[in-house]
Chain A
């Protein structure tokens, strides 16, 4: 799916806008990195795309998914789109999952939102999709509660939930930041394989430019609510034009 964001601004109350005149294009099947530090506006941007900002947020501009304008849509229309056309994977799977519900049921509920009257099919889908995200014991996992799984396993469950309705766009918000290196490498590989298999477009939000360089083909760099630079990854990191991008690349090259 293609995504076109134009002149997007978000403000909360009387404070300075959190996001100001942000624009980018995401072609069908493309993976775009959104790089920034805390307060850069990268997460607010993704929440605005998903229609997940609180009501008092003032959102202006245009966000169009395969030609359909998303800003201004009501809750019902948005919930129809969420999951089916676009989905999101958050940083902290412990807070994104319901601690009181077996993970299989949580995935089934996400599926049934878009496939009503599908009890048996939903159960089947749960195991298929858990299989796809690399669990060899899908049945046992589906009967587990979130706290019974490791951080990496929980993140794979979230990925399963995000892809169960085969959306055309997946937004990843710091999906591996809470994981340690070995698990991070596994999850990144899995994300890469899943995107390749489904052909979904992806928006990949991260403060870690090394991670972005591994997953994405293009990136935008955000600072203070604005995009300071964008371009293909190779060009952006080999010949950074903006001093801020240059500083980020130098810090990453140190490591």
Chain B
């Protein structure tokens, strides 16, 4: 696996608060990496930097051989790397029709491609009749499908997802996890998935990064970290996950 991201000694401070305290990280092409941690662990800060939505205080990020300088990503980066946020209510412009929302990343590449818009909507399980409608007409799960369609429209190589199912109901959540799994696999996408929920990461990723207090507590292949955690923090995190006491026999 060749490396897509090379991150060295990455730091980010907000005033006196050190949100990231020197993170080293390599992400391979096609890797599906889960980033797990409690609130304030620095996981969202990290992926905002990886998405070039924020500027680091120190350290370097190299993307596919080219450095991201002071928040200025290399040419083509904005199409190659797409982001899906937690709350589709606030990430979709309420005044725009679905066809314009999903077509937006294409327009910034100076492409007008209604066929492509229809295709990605179909890929996420939505019918063409949604094209002329507005975000408020949809449920939370459908809005998240629309957000995923928008992210996939410019045929990105990397999908960054920040708590993509946390705002959803249990059953809808299950469907969106399935959808994200099949779409990333089918396209060989590199996935950076942030979640406070180990279960979600376990289903979608093949490697995992456990963050705590702005640093990396542990990282490695999913099965190794889940079954043989080396760090005490990871063990505590795994033990804290509420398990169903009784299950279908």
Chain A residues near B (Cβ < 8 Å)? 37-38, 151, 180-185, 188, 207-211, 213-214, 233-234, 236-240, 246-255
**B170 and A251 within 8 A (CB):** yes
Of the four ranges (under 10, 10 to 19, 20 to 34, 35 or more), the interface on chain B belongs to 20 to 34
Q: How far is the CB of B193 from chain A (nearest CB, A)?
A: 15
Query: Please, which residues of chain A bring their CB within 8 A of the CB of B243?
Result: 210, 213-214
**B248 and A181 within 8 A (CB):** no
**A188 and B246 within 8 A (CB):** no
**A209 and B244 within 8 A (CB):** yes
Q: Which of A180, A213, A237, A251 contacts B38 (CB 8 A)?
A: A180
Task: Indicate with 1 or 0, residue by residue over B113-126, a CB within 8 angstroms of chain A CB atoms.
Answer: 00000000000000
**B242 and A253 within 8 A (CB):** no
Q: Report if A207-B240 is in contact (Cβ < 8 Å); known contacts: A214-B245, A237-B246, A254-B203.
A: no
Give Cα A1 to B95, complex, Å: 52
Q: Which of B239, B242, B249 contacts A188 (CB 8 A)?
A: B242
Query: Please, which residues of chain B bring their CB within 8 A of the CB of A180?
Result: 38-39, 196
**B240 and A211 within 8 A (CB):** no
**B248 and A251 within 8 A (CB):** no
Residues 167-186 of B at the A interface (beta carbon under 8 Å)? 169-171, 173-174
Q: How far is the CB of A145 from chain B (nearest CB, A)?
A: 19
Task: Indicate with 1 or 0, residue by residue over B217-249, a CB within 8 angstroms of chain A CB atoms.
Answer: 000000000000000000011011111111111
Q: How far is the CB of A58 from chain B (nearest CB, A)?
A: 27
Question: B17 in the interface, Cβ–Cβ < 8 Å?
Answer: no
Give Cα A54 to B154, complex, Å: 48
Query: Please, which residues of chain B bring their CB within 8 A of the CB of A188?
Result: 242
**B248 and A253 within 8 A (CB):** yes
Q: Report if A207-B248 is in contact (Cβ < 8 Å); known contacts: A181-B237, A254-B203.
A: no
Q: How far is the CB of B1 from chain A (nearest CB, A)?
A: 28
